[in-house]
Amino acid sequence: MLFALKTEEVSRVIPIYYSYPIFVSLMAVPLLGESIGLLRWLAILAVVGGIILVSARRNGSGGSFFLGKTTGLLILAGLLISGSDIINKHVLDVITFWNGYWVSSICLAIVLLAVSFRRSVFNELKGLTKPWLCYLLIVLDECFLFGGMLLRLWAIQHGPISLVSAISSARPLFVLLYAFLLVRLIPGFLLEWPAGRRLRILQIGGVVLTVSGIAVMNLFS
């Protein structure tokens, strides 16, 4: 996903990546024995459809929404995340979400450290024009990620994995809200921002569809 974000606009990448609840639901039925009724299937599809509408954009020539060459990579990323959710569900049956988080974090840190000790990495860090601002944003990002991951693991341990994944996929909705606030408070902070009446209508429809799907899943889980 990070590679796709580097080469594509975030509003095009996020909705495809966060369609992975569909894969989770498909995998959870045979692997975890979870039962998904018709209403919850419709709710999951509504959430994913709403996310796509919220993040919809048109290209410069007026064409419709597309992702181009990174689409396959994002679908693969979604499949990998789905497999990770299934594995987490099994792991959290025997250990607490807190211990599960720390074990996974240590493993990830070891892998990242192994691939980060390269000259190009240190050269890039030395070449930063505003290093303290960059480091501050990274720390802030990790604090947000830390809280979100803990809450998500707790939810996985105590609820159906298909429901947790579908609700987690509402992230593009919050991306849109954050972007709106940043554009209002700090003009020019974001290089891209969707415009046009038709697109705004699609986004409002996406918000309604997403919230409705999440509400249905909460009421009938």
Which residue has better confidence, 185 or 67?
A: 185
Cα 147-191-165 angle, rounded to 5 deg: 35
**What's the pLDDT at 88?**
80
Other beta carbons less than 10 A from residue 199's beta carbon: 15
User: Does residue 23 register a pLDDT over 80?
Assistant: no
Alpha carbons 64 and 12: distance in angstroms, whole number: 11
Q: Which long-range contacts (CB under 8 A, 24 or more apart) does 37-42 make?
A: 37/220, 39/216, 39/220, 40/162, 40/163, 40/216, 40/217, 40/220, 40/221, 42/213, 42/216
Which residue has better confidence, 13 or 140?
A: 140
**What's the pLDDT at 151?**
86
User: Is the distance from CB of 41 to CB of 221 less than 8 angstroms?
Assistant: no
Closest CA to 199 of 34, 59, 41, 30: 59
Mean pLDDT computed over every residue of the chain = 75
Amino acid letter, 138: I
Which residue has better confidence, 157 or 1?
A: 157
**What's the pLDDT at 24?**
74
Other beta carbons less than 10 A from residue 65's beta carbon: 17
CA atoms within 13 A of residue 138's CA, in its CB half-sphere: 7
User: What confidence tens digit (pLDDT) does each residue in 85-133 have?
Assistant: 788 878 888 888 778 878 888 988 898 888 888 888 888 888 888 888 8
Which residue has better confidence, 65 or 170?
A: 170
User: What confidence tens digit (pLDDT) does each residue in 186-215 have?
Assistant: 766 655 555 566 766 776 777 778 777 776
User: What confidence tens digit (pLDDT) does each residue in 144-194 have?
Assistant: 888 888 888 888 778 777 677 667 766 767 777 777 777 777 766 655 555
**What is 16-43 written as a DSSP string?**
HHTTTHHHHHHHHHHHH-----HHHHHH
Q: For residue 96, which phi and psi values (nearest 5 degrees)?
A: -75, 160
**Domain boundaries, given as residue ranges, for the chain:** 2-94+160-219
Which residue has better confidence, 60 or 134?
A: 134
- The segment with the largest mean pLDDT, out of 50-54, 56-60, 154-158, 179-183, is 154-158
